[in-house]
């Protein structure tokens, strides 16, 4: 037996550490703050000791988050049933839940047999995972006998849905639509005369047509709330926490109300191309502009109390608008309220949406009768629109009306601009190769909007914007100034000067994994279960970096074993590492040392964003950073911040919103929280237009430059300018037929030259191999520094391009730039983790 000198991540016991308990406390608070109260006839909050009849598979099998890289292998997930009992409520139908459990186990076993049969006798991990995505678990349903709820004061019904990487959701029963059994069960419960409370344990929008004739007494969007799911929703139901979440998406009456519904992903039979004919009219921008009434609008959410808002001073300084709004709690319960400020921009010369979110803030928890004045600040550049013909951001002359308030927004102030101003001129990027027939409002709709604004703006204040105001806004659009550690940068340059060409090439391609010479999602060596690592050149002074999946926490292996004879970690079969040992049986080796890596599963991205609380997001980021230090992780492959263009995208739960401003602000805040520990970094992803999962590696997002810049890049721009994340991850897809990973426009011209991004850019996993079509050498040429997970073929391709043996040339300067960024990041992270 050898003495194990290596430092292994994790702990040898299963005790709950202070780090873990603190993480769960933050996750619980974040989950409760992001939950949205959709309906309430006064039944909530529930009285202590209320007797509850609990139904739905999510009652015990509560879904904490989606599958794939967004999953986290946490110690435990508090179910809805557990949470309610922890809060002192009595569950009166536990025998029924036990029968449902047994039926679920039988269905699960049958599902797994089907998956393994599809994978063949070799149990190929890729086939296993594909079958897991392709085949649907036929969730059981049991008739509800009246005897199961006769003792109950109220009924709680949980509707659960999940989704994940590699497949988009379906607009049929069991996914976007309720199943016939779910509808029948709700009807049975609704007819019994007892109050019915519906909990939506879902990661995205679903059809709620059952409410048209069976309105529940209360409905809560509890979302996918992480490891503390049940405790958090119990905090809401009991009134321990007054709900203050607001929707970050528009919930339509029917799926076909969304502008991209017909052609989205697989629905039109074409997954090779996705034409973004909805242009800038995504989410509420479409519903407001075209007069389509939603079931629940963006920004909607109820409370157990009432609020009154009153606008105060509005002024402009250095190109930034600052609007003061006083919020007073006029009800009987303490509570907090988000304040959302929108802008309706002039649309005579260039057609625009009815309104756009310009800024937001959130009050502290206000006691009854208490007031707080919040300031909502935003740069004038957030009111600009892009003109592809002149490649310019323009502030059109006219009146910019500011709106706020609940439940309906109303004008409260106006900004007048006497002449059209060009804020900045940029190079055209991501050329659209064929014309798109984009939707836009007609002149009558624009006139109707202007008439409504004028009729509701008779008594509001206004100010005239000056030349200096707009000049400052133009300066806001200059490249951001990134802070650099000059000492570390000089050290990195010295190291780079001592590296051979081969060593530089090795640095720009990920380190070999423990299975087949590559990293596949969760095949880390230094930290078991991590997504990948960079190459370590110890003799040259270059430490490696461990990269770990997110965005719902750190996705690492919950338990691993060490061979005491040689100190090596026992290797798992590749399929056994997937989805927290979703496949395979946990094997235990004789005399092995067991190590446990307990990570916190924070709420899914959409639920976090529903809090509209940037300070809370920073705190979540700080929680992630503590876990990164504990396990030795340098880069967190999160946050995910693609736009919710369509509710059927399989990974919407990971992302924040249909709105780019909110997405950018949330990503910036969580990045600031993580990077308060200098040397640790986030990886904002997936850059860009990763808005569908079907054929995600081959589909071309065909999009106008205006829509690209105003909607799909804007969130990334905000995150870069406000937080300078350490890294960016490109997406799998193409934009106008060019792989994002190979795009000089995206990686260099936009991110670095326009926004001032100073970190490293990496590919998503297997972008350059596995038949996905992107080129490793073109990545380096584009300014995409790190090819992950990396294969020998990637290294060979880069080497050939350097020496003119490939289809195109790669300059040594391009290689040096990428290698330097990786060395610099490696040195910084090593300081944080030493």
For the annotated catalytic residues, the residue numbers are 764
Alpha-helical runs (H) found in 682-802: 705-707, 714-723, 744, 776-782, 792-802
Calpha distance 811→807 (Å, rounded): 13
Pick the closest to residue 53 from 198, 152, 197 (CA basis).
152
Question: What is the per-residue burial (b if ≥16 Cβ within 10 Å, else e) of 177-194?
Answer: bbeeebeebbebbbebee
Calpha distance 4→19 (Å, rounded): 25
Tokens of 262: 């017909």
Count of residues making up the chain = 834
Which segments of 380-458 are extended strands (E)?
385-387, 392-395, 398-404, 410-417, 421-425
Phi first, then psi: give them for residue 394, nearest 5 degrees: -120, 140
Phi first, then psi: give them for residue 127, nearest 5 degrees: -65, -40
Pick the closest to residue 762 from 579, 532, 530, 485 (CA basis).
532
- Residue bearing tokens 């990428």: 818
Calpha distance 318→575 (Å, rounded): 56
The alpha carbon of 714 is separated from its chain's Cα centroid by a whole number of angstroms, namely: 15
Tokens of 385: 């629109």
Pick the closest to residue 709 from 518, 515, 425 (CA basis).
425
Preceding peptide of 407 cis, ω within 30°:
yes
Whether the CB-CB separation of 447 and 288 falls below 8 Å is answered with: no
The alpha carbon of 322 is separated from its chain's Cα centroid by a whole number of angstroms, namely: 28
214 secondary structure, DSSP code: S
Calpha distance 57→102 (Å, rounded): 11
Calpha distance 10→75 (Å, rounded): 13
Calpha distance 391→427 (Å, rounded): 6
Contacts of 49 (CB under 8 A, 6+ apart): 88, 89, 90
At residue 378's C-alpha, the angle toward residues 372 and 383, to 5°, is 135
**Per DSSP, what are the bridge partners of residue 735?**
701, 738
Q: Report CA dihedral (42, 44, 49, 53) to the nearest 10 degrees.
A: 100
């Amino acid at each position: 037996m050898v003495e194990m000198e290596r430092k292994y991540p994790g702990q040898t016991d299963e005790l709950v550490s202070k780090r873990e308990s603190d993480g769960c406390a933050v996750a619980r608070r974040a989950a409760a703050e992001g939950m949205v109260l959709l309906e309430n006839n006064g039944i909530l909050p529930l009285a202590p000791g209320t007797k509850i009849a609990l139904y739905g598979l999510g009652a015990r099998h509560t879904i904490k988050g989606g599958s794939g890289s967004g999953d986290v292998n946490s110690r435990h997930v508090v179910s809805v049933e557990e949470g309610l009992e922890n809060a002192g409520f009595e569950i009166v139908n536990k025998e029924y839940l036990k029968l449902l459990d047994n039926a679920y186990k039988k269905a699960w076993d049958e599902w797994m047999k089907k998956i393994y049969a599809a994978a063949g006798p070799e149990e190929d991990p890729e086939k296993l995972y594909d079958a897991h995505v392709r085949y649907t678990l036929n969730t059981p349903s049991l008739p509800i006998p009246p005897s199961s709820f006769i003792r109950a004061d109220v009924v709680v019904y949980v509707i659960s849905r999940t989704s994940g990487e590699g497949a988009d959701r379906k607009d049929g029963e069991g996914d976007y639509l309720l199943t016939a059994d779910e509808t029948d069960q709700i009807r049975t419960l609704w007819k019994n005369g007892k109050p019915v409370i519906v909990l939506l344990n879902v990661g995205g929008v679903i059809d709620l047509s059952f409410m048209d004739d069976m309105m529940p007494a209360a409905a809560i969007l509890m979302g996918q709330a992480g490891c503390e799911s049940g405790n958090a929703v119990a905090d809401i139901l009991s009134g321990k926490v007054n709900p203050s979440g607001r929707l970050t998406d528009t919930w339509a009456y029917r799926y076909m109300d969304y502008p991209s519904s017909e052609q989205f992903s697989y629905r039109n039979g074409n997954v090779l191309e996705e034409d973004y004919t909805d242009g800038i009219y995504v989410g509420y921008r479409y519903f407001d502009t075209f007069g389509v009434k939603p079931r629940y609008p963006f920004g909607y959410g109820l409370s157990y109390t009432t609020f009154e808002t009153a606008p105060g001073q509005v002024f402009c300084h250095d190109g930034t608008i600052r609007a003061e709004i006083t919020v007073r709690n006029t009800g009987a319960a303490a509570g907090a309220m988000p304040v959302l400020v929108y802008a309706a921009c002039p649309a005579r010369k260039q057609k625009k949406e009815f309104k756009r979110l310009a800024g937001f803030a959130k009050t502290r928890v206000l006691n009854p009768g208490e007031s707080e004045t919040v300031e909502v600040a935003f740069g004038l550049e957030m009111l600009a629109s892009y003109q592809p013909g002149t490649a310019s951001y323009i502030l059109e002359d006219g009146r910019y009306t500011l709106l706020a308030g609940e439940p309906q927004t109303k004008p409260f102030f106006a900004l007048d601009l006497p002449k059209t101003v060009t804020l900045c001129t940029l190079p055209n990027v991501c050329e659209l190769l064929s014309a798109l027939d984009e939707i836009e409002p007609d002149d009558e709709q624009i006139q109707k909007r202007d008439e409504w604004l004028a009729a509701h703006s008779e008594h509001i204040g206004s100010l005239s914007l000056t030349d200096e105001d707009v000049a400052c806004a133009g300066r806001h659009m200059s490249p951001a100034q990134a802070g650099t550690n000059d000492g570390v940068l000089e050290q990195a340059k010295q190291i780079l000067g001592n590296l051979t060409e081969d060593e530089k090439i090795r640095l720009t391609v990920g380190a070999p994994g423990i299975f087949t010479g590559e990293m596949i999602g969760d095949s880390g060596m230094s930290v078991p279960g991590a997504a990948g690592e960079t190459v370590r050149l110890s003799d040259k002074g270059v430490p490696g970096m461990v990269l770990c999946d997110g965005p719902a926490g750190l996705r690492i292996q919950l338990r691993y074993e060490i061979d005491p004879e040689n100190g090596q970690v026992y290797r798992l079969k590749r399929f056994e590492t997937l989805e927290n040992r979703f496949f395979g049986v946990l094997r235990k080796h004789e005399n092995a040392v067991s190590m446990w890596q307990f990570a916190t599963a924070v709420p899914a991205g959409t639920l976090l964003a529903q809090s509209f609380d940037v300070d809370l997001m920073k705190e979540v980021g700080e929680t992630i950073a503590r876990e990164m230090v504990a396990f030795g992780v340098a880069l967190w492959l999160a946050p995910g911040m693609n736009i919710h263009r369509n509710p059927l995208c399989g990974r919407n739960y990971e992302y924040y919103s249909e709105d780019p401003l909110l997405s950018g602000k949330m990503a910036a805040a969580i990045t600031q929280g993580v990077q308060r520990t200098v040397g640790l970094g986030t990886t904002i992803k997936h850059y860009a237009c990763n808005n569908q999962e079907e054929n995600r590696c081959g589909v071309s997002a065909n999009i106008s430059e205006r829509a690209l810049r105003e909607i799909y890049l804007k969130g990334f721009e905000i995150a870069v300018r406000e937080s300078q994340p350490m890294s960016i991850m490109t997406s799998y897809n193409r934009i106008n037929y060019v792989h994002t990973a190979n795009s000089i426009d995206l990686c260099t011209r936009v991110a670095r030259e326009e926004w001032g991004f100073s970190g490293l850019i990496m590919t998503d996993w297997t972008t350059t191999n596995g038949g996905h079509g992107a080129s490793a050498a073109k990545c380096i040429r584009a300014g995409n520094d790190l090819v992950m997970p990396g294969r020998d073929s990637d290294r060979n391709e880069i080497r050939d391009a350097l020496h003119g043996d490939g289809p195109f040339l790669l300059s040594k300067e391009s290689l040096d730039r990428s290698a330097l960024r990786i060395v610099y990041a490696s040195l910084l992270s090593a300081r944080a983790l030493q």
